[in-house]
């Protein structure tokens, strides 16, 4: 957990430093190049974080925290794109852009039901590779219930799940 938090914090700090550099120093071509390079390095960190997160998800399944980290990576990437436009264009309304992006992003996050998305992803994996962390999934909210119903309707034979004791158990989906 700590590594992802640190990467996201560093990406956010880079964004703040680029904005401060753009607003506190006299505009020049050299400054713009430096700020763009810092912004591109931030994208490199975001990509590195996304690759590592993908490996974690493939090894240890999706969790709500990992889902939220994906959302954070995407919004930071969108905001950095706005920052790069702001570096090149004096009249770009960066504050308005950032506010609108964050409001839309949080609204979309609340409407997408993260627990449902996590359950849907993990149950899809359970059907394809016969592994699921049942103990984690039972702690998700009732938002996850429609994903369970979808699996029951689409897999009448049942699925295997990880039972927490280093073995797999069969869950019948027959009614």
| pLDDT at site 1 | 58
Burial of 14 (0-12, 13-18, 19+ CB in 10 A): buried
Judge whether residue 133 has pLDDT over 80.
Answer: no
- Alpha-carbon dihedral of residues 148, 50, 82, 106, nearest 10 degrees? 30
| pLDDT at site 165 | 58
At 34-68, the pLDDT tens digits run 999 999 999 999 998 899 899 988 888 899 989 99
Percentage above 90 pLDDT, the chain: 47
pLDDT band at 7 (very low <50, low <70, confident <90, very high): confident
| pLDDT at site 27 | 85
Average per-residue pLDDT for the chain: 84
Judge whether residue 11 has pLDDT over 90.
Answer: no
| pLDDT at site 8 | 80
Judge whether residue 26 has pLDDT over 70.
Answer: yes
String of DSSP letters for 8-72: HHHHHHHHHHHHHHHHHS---HHHHHHHHHHHHHHHHHHHHHHHHHHHHHHHH---HHHHHHHHH
Judge whether residue 130 has pLDDT over 80.
Answer: no
Judge whether residue 91 has pLDDT over 60.
Answer: yes
| pLDDT at site 34 | 94
Which is more confident, 22 or 150? 22
| pLDDT at site 14 | 92
């Amino acid at each position: 957990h700590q590594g992802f938090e640190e990467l996201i914090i560093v990406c956010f700090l880079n964004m703040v430093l680029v904005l401060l550099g753009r607003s506190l120093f006299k505009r020049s071509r050299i400054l713009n190049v430096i700020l763009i390079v810092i912004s591109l390095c931030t994208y490199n960190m975001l990509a590195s974080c996304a690759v590592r997160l993908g490996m974690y998800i493939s090894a240890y399944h999706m969790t709500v925290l990992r889902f939220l980290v994906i959302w954070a990576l995407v919004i930071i990437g969108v905001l950095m794109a706005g920052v790069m436009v702001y570096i090149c264009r004096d009249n770009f309304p960066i504050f308005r852009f950032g506010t609108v992006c964050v409001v839309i992003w949080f609204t979309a996050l609340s409407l997408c039901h993260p627990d449902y998305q996590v359950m849907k992803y993990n149950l899809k994996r359970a059907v394809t590779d016969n592994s699921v962390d049942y103990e984690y999934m039972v702690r998700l909210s009732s938002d996850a219930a429609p994903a369970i119903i979808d699996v029951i309707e689409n897999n009448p034979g049942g699925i295997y799940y990880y039972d927490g004791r280093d073995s797999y158990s069969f869950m019948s989906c027959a009614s």
